[in-house]
Amino acid sequence: MSQILDRARARVLADGVGLDQAEILEILRLPDEALPELLQLAHDVRIKWCGPEVEVEGIISLKTGGCPEDCHFCSQSGLFSSPVRAIWLDIPSLVEAAKQTAATGATEFCIVAAVRGPDKRLMEQMRAGVKAIKEAVDIQVAASLGMLTQEQVDELVEMGVHRYNHNLETCQSHFPNVVTTHSWEERWSTLKMVRESGMEVCCGGILGLGESIEQRAEFAAQLAELDPHEVPLNFLNPRPGTPLGDQPVVEGKDALRAIAAFRLAMPKTILRYAGGREITLGDLGTREGLLGGINAVIVGNYLTTLGRPATADLELLQDLKMPVKSLSATF
């Protein structure tokens, strides 16, 4: 039995205190033989500190493509020769998507736009869209619209957006290799404003962007310092035409090790399986992740790619006897 797992058991499981960067790195370096024990510990930590419920969310792209930023993994940047074209979703279709999401039992609906930050048109669309959703559907609305001004933060609060997603994407030391049109620190400052506004902070990133194992540990530690309400964990699905289009996908075992490590770094956060799980881990991966620290999923499709059908995830949750978190539990 490895020492780091004993230490994690004593501190993270017993006291709910996350591992530090050096310890996270030890976890990420554990041999394959230790993986079952690691996943079991991460699962025990999740059950003890978060409970058996799983938070289910649907996401929708309100404005797709044509983004002026250059995040090297993103098919929606207008700066690469990606086949994704710019398109806006109309409000009736937005409401319909929220209805479909609610019908799966999901409690979260996140509206996403491919922008550096919102302009007047996007804020107007948001205002109309959130109002229309709230009138028609019983679901909590989250948003992900890039970097915000204080005014925009206040406006979103007033619209009733309860959670804001803004991913740091990767650790501070690797960020300049992945994005050059804005800085990690700019993202951090939006996150601070969101935190102070009272909205829940949702912040995660993508693994497999060419970061080292040390940088993966750095990222988990930086997220733990931010202490977000939710951490969405994506695995790179290399997109044709982007600078990272030929990047190898994260190995399944490394992905599971990372999930467990992030859980041990942040015992109490909502750790959500986001994009790329189907590519990295295949069909079985969802089950393994849910038994290794994950306690939230995005169901159905993503923004520009498709996921497995919501029913497959919901059946799995039933199978695992993990109840879907209900709206009454989230208020």
Partner 1 sequence: MFCDRCGLPAAEGAHAECAAARELEPPRYCPDCRRRMKVQVVPTGWTASCVEHGTRKG
* Annotation: binding site: 67, 71, 74, 110, 202, 272
Partner interacting with residue 148 (select from ligand SF4, partner 1, none; CB below 5-8 Å by kind): none
Partner interacting with residue 71 (select from ligand SF4, partner 1, none; CB below 5-8 Å by kind): ligand SF4
Q: Single out the segment in contact with ligand SF4 by CB under 6 A; choices: 3-11, 22-30, 63-71, 320-328.
A: 63-71
Partner interacting with residue 306 (select from partner 1, ligand SF4, none; CB below 5-8 Å by kind): partner 1
- The Cβ of residue 215 has, within 10 Å, a number of other Cβ atoms equal to 19
Among 77, 170, 222, 280, binds ligand SF4 (CB under 6 A): 77
Q: Single out the segment in contact with partner 1 by CB under 8 A; choices: 34-42, 93-101, 172-180, 204-212.
A: 93-101
CA–CA separation, 90 and 231 (whole Å) = 29
What is the amino acid identity at position 137? V
Among 61, 76, 101, 286, binds ligand SF4 (CB under 6 A): 76
Query: Quick check: 272 and 296 in contact, CB under 8 A?
Result: yes
Binders in 276-315 for partner 1, by CB under 8 A = 278-279, 299-307, 310
Phi-psi bin for 140: left (phi > 0), alpha (psi -120 to 50), beta?
beta
Minimum CB distance to partner 1 smaller for 81 or for 328: 81
Query: Quick check: 205 and 166 in contact, CB under 8 A?
Result: no
Residue 215 in contact with ligand SF4, rule: CB under 6 A: no
CA–CA separation, 79 and 75 (whole Å) = 9
**DSSP code of residue 322:** -
The tokens describing 97, both together, are 């998507």
Partner interacting with residue 59 (select from partner 1, ligand SF4, none; CB below 5-8 Å by kind): partner 1
Binding residues for partner 1, rule CB under 8 A, total 30
Q: Kind of pairing, strands 140-144 and 163-165?
A: parallel
Minimum CB distance to partner 1 smaller for 21 or for 286: 286
Backbone phi and psi for residue 59, each to the nearest 5 degrees, phi listed first: -125, 155
Among 45, 114, 145, 193, binds ligand SF4 (CB under 6 A): 114
Among 76, 101, 152, 269, binds partner 1 (CB under 8 A): 101
Partner interacting with residue 77 (select from partner 1, ligand SF4, none; CB below 5-8 Å by kind): ligand SF4
3-state secondary structure of 206: strand
Binders in 67-86 for partner 1, by CB under 8 A = 83-85
Residue 152 in contact with partner 1, rule: CB under 8 A: no
Q: Which residues 6+ apart lie within 8 Å of 271 measured at CB?
A: 46, 230, 231, 233, 259, 262, 263, 293, 294, 295, 296
Q: Kind of pairing, strands 140-144 and 296-298?
A: unpaired
Query: Quick check: 329 and 53 in contact, CB under 8 A?
Result: yes
Among 41, 56, 67, 137, binds ligand SF4 (CB under 6 A): 67
CA–CA separation, 52 and 46 (whole Å) = 8
Residue 230: strand pairing partners: 202, 270
Closest separation in Å from C-beta 163 to ligand SF4: 17
Which residues of this protein are in contact with partner 1, per CB under 8 A? 58-61, 64, 83-85, 87, 89, 93, 96-97, 100-101, 104, 237, 240, 278-279, 299-307, 310
